[in-house]
Amino acid sequence: MDVQLSEDHLALRETLRTFVDREIRPVAREWEQAGRYPTEIVEGLRELGLFGLTVPAEHGGLELDLVSMALVFEELSRGWMGIAGVLGTHSLSCRMIAHHGTHEQRARHLPAFATGERRTGLALTEPGAGSDLQGITTRAVRDGDHYVVSGTKTWITNARHADPIPVLVKTDPGAEPAHRGMSVLLVPTDLPGFEVSRDLPKLGYKGPETCEIVLDEVRVPVDALLGGEEGHGFQQVVSGLEVGRVNVAARAVGVAQEACDRAIRYAREREAFGRPIAEFQAIQHKIADIATQTQAARLLTYWAADKVDRGERADTEAGMAKLFASEVALEASLESMRVHGGYGYSEEYEVARLYRDAPLMAIGEGTNEIQRTIIAKGLLRDHTAGGPM
């Protein structure tokens, strides 16, 4: 791919940086520490049309390419990674509905999702099933023109603001292999038996709510079955995870870049032994390593995004981007904290928030251990086929 961003990409990045500097940076630390929901910032995202990132233009969305989407999540995460979470699963689910939904489902949901009038999320993980999605136990039993859905989902972002929310269920628990018995239902959240049971306490990733939801014999209309045919849910979800991993990689790049920028700024201001600590070789080496690794993560993320945009299979590339970028974010936030010394350990400095936010990217959207398995399988598959990556 061409590693130079287009004029449209550069203009989008400038718009986002202006928004982040004006609307997010001045309040991020205070609101994050207070556990305050960023209502005003979310309204700003609506005004920019960002809830329509992955919604086709025919339904009122921006229909941006994935490199543009990566830029959005990177820039928002530089200001406050939690804000990117408000758009994350919403954008993934919009893309999933756009690609796999029936004509009626697209027309019913996507226009309101594009404007942010309504929002959505994605309910996959369960208390006993995270990386192994085929191990879910949430069931949907057909009863006339409804499915009766029972189960528990956890770590659900936007759970209190989503309507409807795509829920991965088993419509045929006895299917072999298990993925053939899985489907996605677009569950209206105002139905009897649907309950957001609690908000989960988190080390970082503050701002958006992350919840557990309980479905107790929720009667969901049959026309809520994504795509209108049972048994395709696992493939529908997996097709969206490539995009989700690029999203997480871009967030990690944003956190790493912010950690790097703050380390540079502090090193130039802080003096020790009569001169700025930026003049000490030990500090210079830390900054050089952080900056180099961050740029490598950025290019890897854009590369994966570009391959998805070209319609090519990109599970290996998206896995590489997510794995590498999230590890860089962890390292960059820690090294930036060390450059800051004792102040880096204080909640009065933003680097402490970066340090708390970074681990999410190594765990979310498939742990990095799972990513290594996906990458290895992809490489072995391509090598067997005799083709280059």
In this structure, how many other beta carbons lie within 10 angstroms of the beta carbon of residue 120?
A: 25
Whether residues 262 and 299 fall in one domain? yes
What is the maximum span of the chain, computed from C-alpha positions, in angstroms?
Answer: 80
Whether residues 156 and 187 fall in one domain? yes
Q: Which residues lie closer than 8 Å to 281 by C-beta, 6 or more apart?
A: none
Whether residues 227 and 251 fall in one domain? no
Whether residues 378 and 242 fall in one domain? yes
- Average per-residue pLDDT in the chain? 95
Whether residues 239 and 378 fall in one domain? yes
- Is pLDDT at 1 greater than 80 in this prediction? no
Eight-state DSSP code of residue 5: P
Output the pLDDT for position 240: 85
For residue range 63-106, what is the model confidence (pLDDT) as tens digits? Answer: 999 999 999 999 999 999 999 999 999 999 999 999 999 999 99
* 191 located within any domain: yes
Output the pLDDT for position 131: 81
For residue range 309-366, what is the model confidence (pLDDT) as tens digits? Answer: 998 989 999 999 999 999 999 999 999 999 999 999 999 999 999 999 999 999 988 8
* 40 located within any domain: yes
* 183 located within any domain: yes
The alpha carbon dihedral of 335, 339, 341, 344 has a sign of negative
* 356 located within any domain: yes
CATH for 206: 2.40.110.10
Output the pLDDT for position 299: 96
* 2 located within any domain: no
Number of domains in the chain: 3
Output the pLDDT for position 117: 96
Burial pattern 127-153, b for ≥16 Cβ within 10 A else e, equals: eebbeebeebebbbeeeeebbbbbbbb
Whether residues 251 and 198 fall in one domain? no
Q: At which of 176, 201, 231 does a domain end?
A: 231
Q: At which of 231, 266, 289 does a domain end?
A: 231
Which of 75, 126, 327, 365 does the annotation list as catalytic? 365
Whether residues 358 and 258 fall in one domain? yes
For residue range 224-269, what is the model confidence (pLDDT) as tens digits? Answer: 999 999 999 999 999 888 899 999 999 999 999 999 999 999 999 9
Whether residues 211 and 316 fall in one domain? no
* Active-site residue, 365 included: yes
**Structural domain containing residue 315:** 235-384
Whether residues 204 and 241 fall in one domain? no
Whether residues 241 and 374 fall in one domain? yes
Output the pLDDT for position 75: 98
CATH for 249: 1.20.140.10
Whether residues 227 and 285 fall in one domain? no
Eight-state DSSP code of residue 186: E
pTM for this model (two decimals): 0.95
Whether residues 286 and 374 fall in one domain? yes
* 1 located within any domain: no
Q: At which of 210, 231, 252 does a domain end?
A: 231
Nearest to 251 by CA among 94, 131, 87: 87
* 248 located within any domain: yes
Task: Give dist(CA 78, CA 345) in Å, integer.
Answer: 19
